[in-house]
């Protein structure tokens, strides 16, 4: 129940799920661009790691919202 409340909390007219999804997409895109442009591997790996963590949080929020956790 708590996860559902967090997932659907509104900020500036959009739910938390939407914001986390947008940030996750931006991080994945940034990781791809840094990989293609030859940025240091440490930067690429850091962005990818943050993207994976946020994608997991996003998935848990969606599942929690749908399953009523």
pLDDT for 22-50, tens place per residue? 999 999 999 999 999 989 999 999 999 99
| Cβ proximity of 63 and 69 under 8 Å | yes
Query: Does 69 score more than 80 pLDDT?
Result: no
**Distance of alpha carbon 59 from alpha carbon 3, whole angstroms:** 11
**pTM (2 d.p.):** 0.83
With CA atoms as reference, report the closest residue to 20 among 63, 68, 67, 69: 63
- Total number of domains in the chain: 1
Place of tokens 């996750």: 24
Backbone φ, ψ for residue 40 (5° rounding)? -55, 140
| 38: containing domain | 2-67
């Amino acid at each position: 129940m708590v996860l559902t409340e967090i997932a659907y909390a509104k900020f500036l007219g959009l739910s938390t799920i939407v914001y986390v999804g947008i940030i996750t997409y931006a991080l994945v895109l940034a990781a791809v661009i840094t990989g293609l442009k030859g940025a240091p591997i440490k930067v690429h790996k850091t962005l990818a790691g943050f993207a994976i963590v946020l994608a997991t949080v996003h998935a848990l929020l969606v599942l929690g919202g749908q399953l009523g956790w």
